[in-house]
Every structure is written in structure tokens, then in C-alpha cells.
Amino acid sequence: MKAPILFCVLGILAAAYCQSHDLAVGQATYGDVVIYKANECKYGFPFIVRSSIIEYPEPGLTNFAYIRAIYIKDNDRDGSGGYPTISAGGVGQRFVKIKLKSQRGNGFNFTVTIYGRY
């Protein structure tokens, strides 16, 4: 009785492990525009965790658009890429701080797209 559940959980874990780590929050609809788009990538070094912080707007600048959606696409389709998290701000606000963190020994390659509405 327990075995099928275990295999199912293992299957889900395996599937999650072998995939890219995209992050999508919010929903861009008609009238929303791309207010930020950038590729952020870092090469991996053995035993090292690489990380980046992306801030929108850049410190010292002002953004007048409300953020509607944030799409972070992991370009490493084999699951070796990093993990994105939103550490401050986000959808419904006018700023966001995104943390990108690699797996130990690996790099990452993300495309960050932010949609907003004025």
C-alpha cells in the first residue's frame, strides 16, 4: 500500500530535479508593458555557490509603473541551473528585489522579464 505512494513521491522529486527552475508570479495582460528585461548569468566554480541580486528599479532610480508580472526563465533546461526567489517587493508594488542563487559548483543563466502598468 505504501510503495506506490513512495514511487510517486520519488517520481515527482525526480521530475522536479531534472527541470529548469522557472519562476512566474502575476499575470501580464493586455496593456501591460515590459519594463525590465535582462539576462543574468554567471559561470560555475567548483564548490562555490554563486548568487546575484537584481533590483528593479536600480538603486537611485524611480519606477512609476506598478509591477504586474515577473517571469524568471531558467535557461539551463537540464536542472543544473540556479534558483530564483523574490526577496522584497513584487507584483502590485513598484519595486522588486530578486535573488538568484546557483547550486553548489554550478552557474546559472536566467532571463528576467518584468511587466508593469502605468
Q: Does 109 bind ligand NAG (CB under 6 A)?
A: yes
Please report how close the Cβ of residue 43 comes to ligand NAG at its closest, in angstroms.
Answer: 7
Query: x/- site string to ligand NAG, residues 36 to 65, per CB under 6 A?
Result: -----x------------------------
Rounded CA-CA distance 24/112 in Å is 10
Query: In the chain, which ranges are continuous DSSP H helix?
Result: 2-17
Q: Verify cis geometry, omega within 30 degrees of 0, for the bond prior to 57.
A: yes
Please report how close the Cβ of residue 72 comes to ligand NAG at its closest, in angstroms.
Answer: 13
- Amino acid identity of residue 77, one-letter, is R
Binding site for ligand NAG (CB under 6 A): 41, 75, 109
